[in-house]
Structure 1
Amino acid sequence: MQQQPPTSPDVSSAAKSPLFQSSTQYRNWRFSVEQLKATRAALNQASVAAIRNTFESDSPGSSSDVHFLDANEEHLLVKLYIIKISQLCGHFRFPEEVEATGITYLKRFYLKNTVMDWHPKNVMLTALYLATKTTNHPISLESYTANIPRTNASDVLDLEFLVAQSLAFEFAVWHAHRALWGIWLDIQDLPQAPPHEELQRIHDTAMQHIRTSRLTDVELIYPPSQIALACLSLAHPEIAAFWARSKNADTALEAIESIKRTITRDGDTPSVDVVREIDRHLKICKNPEKVVGSKAYLAKRAREEKEAELKRKKKAENVRKATEQGNPFGEVLVGQANLDDDD
């Protein structure tokens, strides 16, 4: 469902430009804090209800003692795998664009799915691999999986279409680190700009804040330009104000205060012990229809195969009837074939 973006003003020409406002990110992947909370809660509740029903169908009363994850626990587990994306990118020496895009894909996937259906480990691997292709930094699947312990090609490929489908095949992402680069170049051309060495240190510090921001929801709420300015302000408030004044955008400094608070509050690394406990519960409450070899999995596969067989029989019957009527291509195609060139 398309969501209306927040009404807070953009603060750079990149965010104000028709290019960004016409992007799928602007139209479909910006939410309010309340919308994000409601979306995750609804997904979680629907998943718990479906999995509970599956448990009960297989063995009545079996779900009574199961600890199902809540939306906050799911979000915390996804956050851990955001960190793992950064670690993998360091190992492969992927550029910033690949890392940022892979993280965005992972976040967006879990606005359409839950960890109780799809564990973030394999989704993370697939999202990052997909990002290498969409950002034009491809790596062979063999090289990719060979460098990740206990991982084979099917762990990545089996979920690739699902991830792409969950992203609505909208692969382009506008990132805050690019907006920061534009602001940094602007500042260098301003009169009385600090020396280049100092500006470089400020940029590097702001980049660290941008990487921290990826652990939060800010990219799902605010445009990249505002996130970039907020991170610059965290690194050096005076320089951020200096740039804003040069653009006659002093009011933008007020708009970014909530971003700065969110990054400072939510940009922490989750406790390993807490996440390990969540993962332990996930092993128990994972959707059995997704567990290969389980009764629920086999029953679902049987239903799907039966439905596919019925569709094949129906199609074959339609072809047979059409052939008997002397119309092997069906009424629609023949009707179209009889049209004159001018029709």
Structure 2
Amino acid sequence: MAAENSTKATSAEAGSSSLGKKKPLYEASTQYKNWRYSPERLEDVRTQLNAAAVAVIRNTFEADEPGSSSGVAFLDAGEEQLLVKLYISKIPQLCGHFRFPEEVEATAISYLKRFYLKNTVMDWHPKNVMLTALFLATKTTNNPISLEAYTSNIPKTSPSDVLDLEFLVAQSLGFEFAVWHAHRALWGIWLDLQSLPDLSADLRPQDVYEIALKHVRASRFTDAELIYTPSQIALACLSIASPLICQRWADSKSAVSPSSQPLSEVLEDTLGAIKFMVMQAGQPPDVESVREVDRRLKLCKNPEKVVGSKAYLARIAEDEHRAEQKRNKKANDVRRALAEGDPFGSELTDKEKAERLAELDEDDD
């Protein structure tokens, strides 16, 4: 669900596309349909997910040892996001090490954010999820690397650390791997600026683009991409770098827009909200505060996910029991089919063959 001001601004930013009554390509994407929220809805999703996880883990503690959950300080939704944000900051470092292009970096960060809209850090620690999201992003952006080359260059990482979570990550993404990014939108706007007749070269120095791109990268530490469109984020970052250039670009779109209100005015509130978000939250979290969260996570992690714990062994036993029941049912079905006749179906009688031939003749007519 998109915020109302985002929806309004999206319609306005379509500009000349709306004149031809064509639906923007972005609005047909899975990102637009499934991965955009209002700020209130985004907070609600995370709060509900956290509350549900705490309830399940508390019950697991109590089933193992009554009263054991009373002294556990579970993480809240904000603390979960703080930990996720720390591992978002690890992705650019790894991409620099492997020399992955920007598309891989941005896509992996989006995957990590989306994963934790469906899952909790108390079930799945961000470290291995981050490594898996990055490896998956190399494949979905057509920049593949072998699993061995990938894991051998990351300390204390085995191929199983990545592969064991790959399907879970893909499933949590809804197998929707395409991501529309703000850095691409920024490049499009920058190219568009080159054709403006009233914007001389001295008013659009290259360092403006580099500064705006720096802010786009900073926006990845925020929730901006889950609330606003890539072009809104790109324009806001351009506005931070050069308000004049941003206004000139918006004015050029207002000239061909059917709206009587200038585009810069329509977008003012939205761009202001994005700029505030980027400037206030567009940086890695304080390591010491995250270290405290991670320490508490060790105490409130779902026991069913801790290898060797009673809850883990009980879950494995239950999974094996269900699998055994499924295998037995399948074997019984096969035995029953063999006892009752040919498991591939009984042979047609002469009368049935004649009826089928008649049906085929009628179809030919």
The TM-score bracket by the shorter chain reads over 0.9
Structure 1 window deviating more from structure 2 (181-190 vs 318-327): it is 318-327
- Alpha-carbon distance in structure 1 between the residues aligned to 2:146 and 2:202: 39
Q: Partner of 2:63 in structure 1?
A: 57
Q: Partner of 2:9 in structure 1?
A: 9
> Taking structure 1 as reference, are residues 281 and 110 closer, same or farther at Cα in structure 2, changes over 3 Å only?
same
Letter matched to residue 46 of structure 1 = A
> Taking structure 1 as reference, are residues 184 and 34 closer, same or farther at Cα in structure 2, changes over 3 Å only?
same
Alignment of 1:138-217 (within 5 A): 138-195=144-201, 198-217=204-223
> Which of the residues 300, 314, 323 maps onto 1:299?
314
Q: Partner of 1:133 in structure 2?
A: 139
Superposed displacement of residue 198, structure 1: 4.5
- Alpha-carbon distance in structure 1 between the residues aligned to 2:141 and 2:154: 21
Alignment of 1:114-129 (within 5 A): 114-129=120-135
> Which of the residues 282, 299, 324 maps onto 1:267?
282
Structure 1 window deviating more from structure 2 (101-110 vs 60-69): it is 60-69
- Alpha-carbon distance in structure 1 between the residues aligned to 2:245 and 2:75: 44
In the alignment, is the contact (CA less than 8 A) between 2:15 and 2:253 conserved in 1?
Answer: no
- Alpha-carbon distance in structure 2 between the residues aligned to 1:103 and 1:277: 23
- Alpha-carbon distance in structure 2 between the residues aligned to 1:273 and 1:63: 26
In the alignment, is the contact (CA less than 8 A) between 2:95 and 2:105 conserved in 1?
Answer: yes
Alignment of 1:238-317 (within 5 A): 238-248=244-254, 249-250=263-264, 251-317=266-332
CA shift digits 1:117-167 (9 cap, x unpaired)? 000000000000000000000111111111111111011000000000000
Superposed displacement of residue 31, structure 1: 0.5
CA shift digits 1:72-128 (9 cap, x unpaired)? 000000000000011111111111100000000000000000000000000000000
Superposed displacement of residue 282, structure 1: 0.4
Q: Partner of 2:350 in structure 1?
A: none
CA shift digits 1:175-210 (9 cap, x unpaired)? 000000000001011113242795311110000100
Superposed displacement of residue 53, structure 1: 0.7
Q: Partner of 1:47 in structure 2?
A: 53
Superposed displacement of residue 267, structure 1: 1.3
Structure 1 window deviating more from structure 2 (68-77 vs 57-66): it is 57-66
Letter matched to residue 297 of structure 2 = L
Superposed displacement of residue 266, structure 1: 1.6
In the alignment, is the contact (CA less than 8 A) between 2:203 and 2:245 conserved in 1?
Answer: no
- Higher-Rg structure is 2
- Alpha-carbon distance in structure 2 between the residues aligned to 1:197 and 1:246: 15
Structure 1 window deviating more from structure 2 (14-23 vs 153-162): it is 14-23
Q: Partner of 1:236 in structure 2?
A: 242
Letter matched to residue 87 of structure 1 = Q
- Alpha-carbon distance in structure 1 between the residues aligned to 2:338 and 2:128: 47
Q: Partner of 2:343 in structure 1?
A: 328
In the alignment, is the contact (CA less than 8 A) between 1:5 and 1:31 conserved in 2?
Answer: yes
- Alpha-carbon distance in structure 2 between the residues aligned to 1:137 and 1:326: 54
Letter matched to residue 70 of structure 2 = S
Q: Partner of 2:90 in structure 1?
A: 84
Letter matched to residue 314 of structure 2 = A
In the alignment, is the contact (CA less than 8 A) between 1:322 and 1:330 conserved in 2?
Answer: no
1:18 has 2:24 as partner: yes
1:107 has 2:113 as partner: yes
- Alpha-carbon distance in structure 2 between the residues aligned to 1:97 and 1:196: 30
In the alignment, is the contact (CA less than 8 A) between 2:212 and 2:241 conserved in 1?
Answer: yes
Q: For structure 2, which runs of at least 5 residues remain unmatched after alignment?
A: 255-262, 347-352
Superposed displacement of residue 13, structure 1: 6.0
**Alignment root-mean-square deviation, CA:** 2.1
- Alpha-carbon distance in structure 1 between the residues aligned to 2:62 and 2:28: 47
Q: For structure 1, which runs of at least 5 residues remain unmatched after alignment?
A: 332-336
- Alpha-carbon distance in structure 2 between the residues aligned to 1:4 and 1:236: 27
CA shift digits 1:22-71 (9 cap, x unpaired)? 11001000001011101101110111111111111111111111111000
- Alpha-carbon distance in structure 2 between the residues aligned to 1:90 and 1:196: 32
In the alignment, is the contact (CA less than 8 A) between 1:15 and 1:223 conserved in 2?
Answer: no
In the alignment, is the contact (CA less than 8 A) between 2:86 and 2:285 conserved in 1?
Answer: yes
Superposed displacement of residue 253, structure 1: 3.5
> Taking structure 1 as reference, are residues 33 and 15 closer, same or farther at Cα in structure 2, changes over 3 Å only?
farther
Q: Partner of 1:72 in structure 2?
A: 78
